[in-house]
Structure formats: structure tokens, C-alpha cells
A and B are shown apart, each in its own frame.
Chain A
């Protein structure tokens, strides 16, 4: 053991001698010579380690210049810097912190960019341009699904599909997202026909076509199944028949979330703003499914067991949906049909006339996942406090960088090592505090984001993480873009003044004491 320690000591002393700058050789030789007289192997090792540190710092100082030499060759400066490095190394080695930090820069940029929470169309199109050059169909599909400009979205989607035909389903979210009662795409028929051709076994495309026919009848306020035009009713029935005969129902939501997770992770985008903003409430063709359910009730009401069995089967198909309300409507249809089949009679009472697909559904059926989200939002005071901590830590972190910038400017006028010492020490302490506060403030967010990245089905994990939307920006009471921008300016301004004041204290001429 002792022999090994002595060998290690000798090796360290050789390293120190090789590492040290030429101007420091005599002093290194002195330290190395002294090691011969140090008693005990452990003390010798400690002496050798100190000598390596002396040589290494001298090498850094020789590289950086004479002002830095005095600033750096000081334990009061090196201590905080070493602490910062150690803290950052520990924090960045924690997977949760790494996940949270990976989306930090983009998130900060988005927040600072006039307070917008999502990428703008211009930013998305810039992403798409790069993706097209690289032949990256996934990113192109992602952009197409998020572009606000519908006429540009579909051609983009088609180019993505041309590169990767398995992405043909992305037309659905685009059709659904851009389809509102007052405005739907002129190219809708062609696009739904393409969607049917790409996946003919899916009932979803037929439901969308049925919905289109329904809207063309211009009878949105009519009772379910009631049309102005008998011919349109027949057309609608034929398409509904196809939907009820389709072997499966797939709203592609899970695929959409997987694709969004993959792309947002690759681009370091935060899913909590980007994905959530355009995913949950726009993709599900709830209206079309509602029409289909009411059609199913008509079939049950007809009293024909074969038709009732079709309705039951369709209700079972809807259970495959990722959208809770669609599943609830399917379950309701199935239950009512099975009840009729079980008794072997027609439907009596209100069930015989009630074709409203919403009857019997509770609020929790509409969106069961929202309950925990709502509870979490009620704890927004905590979220807000944490968000403020994040802001504060970012401000302090930015301030420590600013400190160095201001310091450089000051040193151009006064090259004082002690100013550097103070600046370095202050920056390191501020940086360490910022890192620790940011870590603890971001920890719940990081955990939510990590579970989202790892979850086999991203939908549930994203719902659970919904409250952390607050973490990107300011608390709700400051959530307007103007307030956010003002906050940042205010924070930066106050911090700059504080730093300037500190700098003036450092740089003022020292007062001589009387002898």
C-alpha cells in the first residue's frame, strides 16, 4: 500500500512538473524538492496533489494573462468556481434534470419571443424547410399537423407522405383541425377519399364523409338523424352503413402523440405547450361520432335484432378510440343494444325515442383525465410559486453572465485583478444558486416530462403533466404576452442596476489609511 502511494506521489509530481508553465518552474522544483522531506505517504500524496493544483492553475493563469493570474490563484475564487462545476456536474448527471434542461433553451426562446407559447407558422415553416432538405418526413408531418395555415398544411402533409407512405394518417388530424362548422376545406372530399383509400378498413373516414353530408344539408340545429333533404339522408345512410360495416375504428391519436413525442424530443420542443395546444380538443371527430351513435340508436329502435347487433358491434368498435368521450358514447350504444338483445323485445319508454348521443353521459365521461388536471390547477398557488422561482433563478443565472460582461467592460478601463476576483466569485456563487434553485423548481416538471418520454402511451402521461404548462412562463396572473415581456425587462433592468451598483463599489478608488 505504502509503495503504491509513493509511486502515485512520484507520478503526480512528474505530472505537476510537466504541467506547469515555464515561468513557474523554479517554484515547482522547490515544491517537488520539499516533497522529499514530507513525512508519511498520505501527507506526501497530499503535498503532491497540491503541487499539481499549483501547476495546473499556473498553466491556466499563464494562458489567460497576468490579471487573471492573481484573480485565479486564490482559493476564494477557485472555491466557488469549483463548487459551481461540481454542482452542475451532479445536477446534469441526474436524468430528470437532463430531460428538463433539454427543452429549456427552446422554451426560454419561445417565452422571450413576445411571449408566444407555441412556435409561429414562420418558425414552423423554417423547421419544415430544413426537414425537407434532409428528407425528414416525421418533422414535415409534425409541422403539417401544427401549421395554422390550413392551405399550406395539406401540401406539406402530402410531401411528407410521399417520402414516407406510412404517414398517410396525418391527413386526418389536418382535416379535423381545419374543419369547423363555418369553414371546411374545399378539397375535403378529395382528401377524405384519399384517407379512405389509404386505410379502407377504418370507420373514421366514413364518419367524416357522413358528417360532411350532414353539414351540406345545412340542418345543424335539426334533431339527430333529421335532414331537410331526403336524398341527402339516403346518401348519409349509405355512408353510415359503410362506417358500421368497417372492421375497425382508429382515430390515430396514439400515433399522433407518438410522432409528436419523437419530433418534439428531437427538436427540443416542449410538448406541454406545443403538443397540448393543438392535440386534445381538435382531433377527435366527436361530432361525427355523435351522429353515428344517434344512427345506431335508430337501428336499435327499429326492433330488428340484426340491425341492433350492428349497432352493438359498432359501439364495441368505438371502444378502441383514444378519446374518452368517444369510448363513452360507444359504451352507451353497446349497453343499450345489448339490453335490447337480452330482453328480445323492442325498446320501450324514452329509450325508443331518445336518439341523442349525449344522453346518459356524465361530465367525467367527457374527459375523465381532466379531473386530476383540474385538481392540480387548483393548486396553482404552488405552481405559481415554483414558476416564480424558475423565473428568479433564470434571472439570477442571466445576471451572473451579465456580471461577467459588465466586468469585462470595466476591466477594459481598469485592469484590476481584485475586480476580477470579485466578479468571478460573485458569478460562480450566483450561478450555483441559480442552478440549485432551477433544479428544485424544475424537478416536478422534469419528472413529468421524463415520464412522458418513457410512457408506452404518451397520451396519459401528457394529461398527467398538463398542470406543468405553468412552468414555462409566468404565473397565470402575469400570463399575457405584454406582462411577460414587461416582467423580463423589469427583472433584467433591476438586476442590471444592482450589478452596476456592485461594480461601482468594487471599482471605486480605495481610501488610504493614515500612517
Chain B
């Protein structure tokens, strides 16, 4: 049984960015640069995707004196949901419903 998930266009843009290189771990600033989303918009989206189980996150140590960085990548479930969503998307991202699996 499929369940509809409502999604903002900002979320769609983040998914697009993550879907472009799905195996690659991405930094928040990179995603922000690619999607033109500000930090105040991007992080709530990332947080929600992570809570939904669509996003993996891990810390990466950096050079001494600099804080570790957070990295993000779609999970298998997130990948499936994003792929189901993005082919039907028009050129202008809009809020829409997305087919996800029951229990999301």
C-alpha cells in the first residue's frame, strides 16, 4: 500500500541535489550552494529527511583547530522515494505529493 507524503519545493531541491550523485557524501555548504537555499531553510529540511529515515548523516574529522563537518547521503529508502518523485517533476519545483512506502 502506498502512502502520499507532502513535500515542499525546498525539500524537492535538496533531494535533487542529493540524487545527482547518490553515492557521494555531501557537505551542508555544498548542498546550500547548489540549491541556493540558506542555512535557515536547508538544515530543517535535512533534519526532517533524517528523521524520516531518508538521509544518512555522519561526522568527518577535519584538520586540527577546525570543527568536524557533517556529511549527508540518501539512504536506500530515501533514494527510492526521491526517484519516484523526481521523474514526474516539472522544471519549476512545486509542492507536491510523493509516493512513499507505508509507515513513512
Contacts and interface: CB of A to CB of B under 8 A. Distances in A.
Contacts of B39: 31, 34-35, 47-48, 50-51, 54
A50 B45 CA distance: 13
B89 interface: no
B99 A515 contact: yes
25 contacts: A27-B47, A27-B70, A30-B57, A30-B69, A32-B67, A33-B67, A34-B28, A34-B70, A36-B66, A37-B27, A37-B69, A48-B39, A50-B38, A51-B39, A54-B39, A54-B43, A75-B8, A75-B41, A76-B8, A512-B1, A512-B2, A512-B4, A512-B99, A513-B4, A515-B99
A364 interface: no
Contacts, number: 86
Among B41, B43, B99, max chain A CB count under 10 A is at B43
Interface of A: 24, 26-38, 46-54, 57-58, 70, 73-76, 418, 510-513, 515
Contacts of A50: 38-43
Contacts of A57: 40, 44
A33 B68 contact: yes
A300 B6 CA distance: 94
A75 B99 CA distance: 23
Ranked 6 nearest A-B pairs via Cβ? A50-B40, A50-B39, A30-B70, A53-B40, A33-B67, A50-B38
Given A36-B67, A52-B40, 5 more contacts: A27-B70, A30-B70, A31-B28, A31-B39, A512-B3
Contacts of A48: 39
A47 B41 CA distance: 10
Contacts of B44: 54, 57-58, 73-74
B43 A37 contact: no
B28 to A, nearest CB: 5
Contacts of B28: 30-31, 34
Contacts of A74: 8, 44
Interface string B1-19: 1111010101000000000
A49 B47 contact: no
A55 to B, nearest CB: 9
Contacts of A515: 2, 99
Contacts of B10: 75
Contacts of A53: 40
Nearest to A70: B48
B46 interface: yes
B104 interface: no
B99 A33 contact: no
Contact of A27 (B43, B68, B95): B43
A31 to B, nearest CB: 5
B29 A510 contact: no
B97 interface: yes
Chain B interface, >50% SS class = mixed
A37 B29 contact: yes
Given A36-B66, A70-B48, A76-B8, A51 B40 contact: yes
A28 B27 CA distance: 14
A70 B32 CA distance: 21
A68 to B, nearest CB: 13
A495 B48 CA distance: 35
B41 to A, nearest CB: 6
Given A33-B68, A512-B2, A515-B2, A49 B29 contact: no
Interface in B70-93: 70
Contacts of B32: 34, 47
Nearest to B10: A75
A58 to B, nearest CB: 8
Contacts of B38: 46-47, 50
A39 to B, nearest CB: 9
Contacts of A30: 28, 43, 57, 69-70
Contacts of B97: 510, 513
Contacts of A26: 70
A418 B8 contact: no
A34 B69 contact: yes
Nearest to A24: B47
Among A46, A48, A74, A510, max chain B CB count under 10 A is at A74
Nearest to A39: B29
Nearest to A510: B4
A483 B6 CA distance: 46
